[in-house]
Amino acid sequence: MRYALLVLESPAAGTSSQAALRFARAAVARGHQVARVFFYGDGVASGNSNSCPPQDETDHVAAWRDFALAGGTELVVCIAAALRRGVLDAGEAERYERAAANLDPAFVLSGLGQLAEAALDADRLVTFGG
């Protein structure tokens, strides 16, 4: 099956981002495809490479990055939601004249159309933190 996931909650505020990642790993382990994970609302914090969790806690950004690097999954962060919350790539940091870009390179900024497309194309779109 071809899945897409929607993540709406920050890893620091709840368990949805972590649950989404475990779901994604389990789906891939069973031979399914996770085509896209769309981070919306507070979920955009999952791509903030400036988060510095204590060493004995899970680094959620790194965990998503490792999952994406294993192949086959796009990590898409909603650009409007990200701008509102200060998660910027180099292009947006320059455009808005902000000091730093902090979007992890494993993630891309894009529009809500990517979510609509996922809702229409994937066999299942599963929401976490809704």
Partner 1 sequence: MRNLLLLLRASPYRGSRAREGLDAALLFSAFSDNLRVLFSGDGAWQLQAGQSPAAIDAKSIAAQVAAFELYGIDTAGVDAAALDARGIDAATLPAGIVVLDDAGIADWLAWADQVVTVG
Active site residues: 78
User: Per-residue contact track with partner 1, 42 to 61, x per CB under 8 A?
Assistant: x-------------------
Find the binder of partner 1 among 1, 53, 66, 84 (CB under 8 A): 84
DSSP secondary structure string, 54-115?
-TTS--HHHHHHHHHHTSS-EEEEEHHHHHHTT---HHHHHHTT-S---B-TTEEEE-THHH
Q: In this complex, which beta carbon is closest to partner 1, that of residue 71 or of residue 113?
A: 113
Binders of partner 1 among 92-121, rule CB under 8 A?
A: 111-113, 115-117, 119-120
